[in-house]
Structure 1
Amino acid sequence: MTQTTTNTRVIRIHPNDNVAIVVEPGGLAEGAVIEGGVTTTMAVPQGHKVALVDLAEGERIIRYGEVIGTAATPIPQGGHVSETNLHMPTPPPLADLPLATRPAPKTAPLEGYTFEGFRNPDGSVGTKNVLGITTSVQCVAGTVDFVVQRIKRELLPRFPNVDDVVGLNHSYGCGVAINAPAAIVPIRTLKNIALNPNFGNEIMIIGLGCEKLQPSTLLSDRPVKIYENTEAADPEANVLSLQDDSFQGFGEMVEGILAMAERHLERLNRRQRETCPASELVVGMQCGGSDAFSGVTANPAVGFATDLIVRAGGSVMFSEVTEVRDAIHLLTPRAVDEEVGRALIEQMAWYDNYLAQGQADRSANTSPGNKKGGLSNIVEKALGSVIKSGNSPIVDVIGPGERLRSKGLTFAATPASDFICGTLQLAAGMNLQVFTTGRGTPYGLAMVPVLKVSTNSALGKRWHDIIDLDAGRIATGEASIEEVGWELFHLILDVASGRQQAAADRLGIHNDLVLFNPAPVT
């Protein structure tokens, strides 16, 4: 990314840009002078765009060196460019996009970096040691929540090597068309979340008994061992159903779950942190509450850290289809081969069709907060979003709910919703997440550390105890993209090692899991 700026008042990303975003806190008043002697014709808020030239009606508006729209009305030099005076262009056509045409950048391997993680029998590495209790149906969520609190009070203090116990509740499991083709998305999501490396291969499922999504489906590739309410209960049991005839009342159900959990905790407690190469990192990159600084500060720094992780042999995934769709022409050339390029296009086409079925399109993505932060439309947002992917080749594409298959940079297709994207990245196998935000969100996940990076220093200072890293220093010239990228890389290693705690974990701020269910509800 080319970034040019002549002063601290505005930032112009690319030499061809005919707009710049306002850096100055509080924005610019009418009559303020910016680069090239341009004088503002009206007040322009911080993060919003100011026209650097006169723009005729229909003229292309360029940011990041790319067209983000056309002027809906004449816009004078120094005028405020916003969603009210530009038309959104059509998305790039998916036919005839360049596939695997960009040679991979020549970079040296990054060697010698390690973290202290929990190595699992299957070779994966966790950054936390968590007992995850999966539910097969929402009906049992209240019971699991009740039991989790008792486990935390009564059992967890006895197992000092276990960080937490988490109920993996969701709204799926019954009242759904379980055999519909699209039902594979929520089903494989639940199966794969239970395999997340932070759960140490300990599978524990609480079901009701009569649900459509039977626990055996979630364990289709593993042995199903049923808990029985007897003195000789199987220590390897991984499924308990509340409708089991042997339970007399709610109290016995709870005691059964506690007994089952205790045996899982005993095994998890044997796990110890050990030195692991940075190649065992599996990092999900996501953004939420984006603003116009996202593509200038935090996301470029995250992209730099992405390339560092890939150079170290690690795995990184970026996601959010609607925040990729309008920049897909920049990504297909980076595919490692034509097959991966075609897979990118297939995911875009699938989601175009999914939105059309709901009589919506990708423009529904942009929120009021995004626009207040200076993002005029989804095109501008997407161009700033994909910068999280850095410059590394894209080695694979996975569908919603699928597990990561390759080291390197993967596109994990997900909706842009923070909670759904996070849930699907958990299923893909991430052991840590980086989350950039400009407007601010207290988002966090109990299952993996979530590092929040602010795009502007005003948010970083205002939310000083929620934000883990302030990338807004890039906009003011106090730090470079490279410096913040290295800082983030070292922070990832420290948090993955347990040497430092993510703010969301320190504060106990954790969001619910939200499944992506494109299948019918009956």
Structure 2
Amino acid sequence: MLKPILIQINPLDNVAIVVNDHGLEKQTVIEEYQLTLVDDVPQGHKVLLKALKKDEAIIRYGEIIGYANADLEAGRWVNESVTRMPEAPELDKLELATRPAQPLESLTGFTFKGYKNKDGSVGTKNILGITTSVNCVEGIVDYVVKIIERELLSKYPNVDGVVGLNHLYGCGVAIDAPAAIVPIRTIHNLALNPNFGGEIMVVSLGCEKMQPERLLNMTAENKRIALADEDIIQLQDERHHGFESMVAHILTVAEQHLEKLNQRQRETVDASHLVVGMQCGGSDAFSGVTSNPAVGFATDLIVRCGGTVMFSEVTEVRDGIHLLTPRAANEDVAKDLIREMQWYDDYLTAGKVDRSANTTPGNKKGGLNNIVEKAMGSIAKSGTSSIVEVLSPGQRPSKKGLIFAATPSSDFICGTQQMASGITVQVFTTGRGTPYGLAAVPVIKMASRNNIANRWYDLIDISAGDIAVGKKTIEDVGWELFEMILRVASGEQQTWSDRWGIHNSLAVFNPAPVT
């Protein structure tokens, strides 16, 4: 039998998690802690290191993640049934930019091979994106995409693929509601993702509330999209006589853009052009110990190269916000963080739920008792740099460095919103496993533990599991991930989701009313 292994993250912690693959049985003696288990404890779940009285704090990551709801003896399995969740940090009592990180030492000499765009951005793929103004046209766009993939792409060897930017918005919605800015801005900015090379075409029905002109001509913070009339295809146009006429029209315009995209070639560019999104899904208790800290180390490396990293998922940041506002580059950035937390608090309250609704059955099975514990592990993806900018959902950044891009925690919505904010590579950590992928942006999936990486060997790209058993350090895996990001960005390594063509549908966040 393997030696019992526990991980205590912080000396202040009064719990530690079980590392052993099949958990530990009752009466197991852990000599390191002079402890005997009084329960069977599954892998990843917490063991109480010292006795607690009712209402005393349960501490992990050096932070309070809950309170005992009864007297608990040392060696107990600390799960949801014996834990009471603490209140969220009060937003009006936070430190603002009191401890901005010192600038990290610059890293030079790191490059990748990407596609340069006229606006100065660099893509990691070369894809034709077909924007849709309303969900009504999705079926026809999907039909055309299949024709392009089957009959046309072979003529354009430098084009990686074609993607229909479909969504569930555009009509039957309160188009003038204040919150409608979120989906409209998101769809607008999706078309501007660097991986589409500035070649934009729009398929419209014609009668929808979100007319193409409204979609394209955003104001102030967003870039206007100037298109020739022929780049906007309206299916209700009188020129169309039947389905095949519509298909032929879309194909004609698509070929014009494919010809331009095919002229693009990968060029060696500095790593400062990286724009990487960090996300987690199917998290477990190892996520905050192995994969997310390794991602945080890679985040710092990218920032040191002058690149951009976005972390997101408001609900999975909310309980760690007191650790983030001091890291803001200035008070305005800290206040922007608070603004996004408050907006989401109000959004959840209007729906008569709170942040506790976030934690999934899989999270709990993986050892995460509540959203507080989950958030403490989630924010590790942000590394140690100062936060230089905060984006509302779907906004594009104006700065480089570490950015908080506010999104819901849903894997699919977060991925879509980060894509609208301009990521060209995404890193997705998981403890429970997921086949998640994006068609337009390569997604590197990192496992938090080796047993899921070994079982899902042809879905998981990299594992941080060796950190848990002491075979590698966080820094070792962070460097491995950073180097993999450069290879994937260069087209030199294909992610498993791209190899299999496993790509999730876009899920545009719409907090506005549907009429």
Q: TM-score, normalised by structure 2?
A: 0.97
- Which of 405, 409, 432 is the aligned partner of 1:412? 405
The residue number in structure 2 matching 1:463 is: 456
SS of structure 1 residue aligned to 2:492: coil
Cα–Cα, structure 1 residues 243 and 398, in superposed 2: closer, same or farther, change >3 Å? same
Unaligned runs of 5+ in 1: 1-6, 228-237
2:23 counterpart of 1:30: no
The 5 A counterparts of 1:38-437 are: 38-220=35-217, 221-227=224-230, 238-437=231-430
Deviations 1:405-437, CA, capped at 9 Å, x for gaps? 110000000000000000000000000000000
SS of structure 2 residue aligned to 1:434: strand
2:316 & 2:93 partners in 1: Cα distance? 21
1:70 & 1:449 partners in 2: Cα distance? 41
SS of structure 1 residue aligned to 2:164: strand
SS of structure 2 residue aligned to 1:324: helix
The residue number in structure 1 matching 2:6 is: 10
The residue number in structure 1 matching 2:220 is: none
Deviations 1:165-222, CA, capped at 9 Å, x for gaps? 0111100000000000000000000000000000000111101000000111122123
- Which of 477, 486, 489 is the aligned partner of 1:493? 486
CA RMSD of aligned residues (A): 0.8
Q: Letter of the aligned partner of 1:207 in structure 2? A: S
8 Å CA contact 2:24–2:41 kept in 1: the answer is yes
1:391 & 1:480 partners in 2: Cα distance? 17
Q: Letter of the aligned partner of 1:359 in structure 2? A: K
8 Å CA contact 1:152–1:165 kept in 2: the answer is yes
8 Å CA contact 2:37–2:76 kept in 1: the answer is yes
Q: Letter of the aligned partner of 2:131 in structure 1? A: T
Cα shift at 1:225: 2.4
Deviations 1:331-369, CA, capped at 9 Å, x for gaps? 000000000000000100000000000001000000000
The residue number in structure 1 matching 2:466 is: 473
2:377 & 2:38 partners in 1: Cα distance? 27
2:4 & 2:145 partners in 1: Cα distance? 51
2:330 & 2:20 partners in 1: Cα distance? 43
SS of structure 2 residue aligned to 1:116: strand
2:4 & 2:51 partners in 1: Cα distance? 22
SS of structure 1 residue aligned to 2:81: coil
Q: TM-score, normalised by structure 1?
A: 0.96
Cα shift at 1:106: 4.7
1:492 & 1:419 partners in 2: Cα distance? 21
Number of aligned residue pairs: give it: 506
Unaligned runs of 5+ in 2: 218-223
Cα shift at 1:8: 5.9
Deviations 1:64-109, CA, capped at 9 Å, x for gaps? 0000000011111000001111000000000121011114235210
Q: Which runs of 4+ in 1 moved over 2 A?
A: 222-227
8 Å CA contact 2:100–2:328 kept in 1: the answer is no
2:368 & 2:14 partners in 1: Cα distance? 16
2:378 & 2:93 partners in 1: Cα distance? 23
1:421 & 1:428 partners in 2: Cα distance? 10
Deviations 1:103-122, CA, capped at 9 Å, x for gaps? 42352100000000000011
8 Å CA contact 1:105–1:391 kept in 2: the answer is no
Q: Letter of the aligned partner of 1:68 in structure 2? A: I
1:150 & 1:215 partners in 2: Cα distance? 24
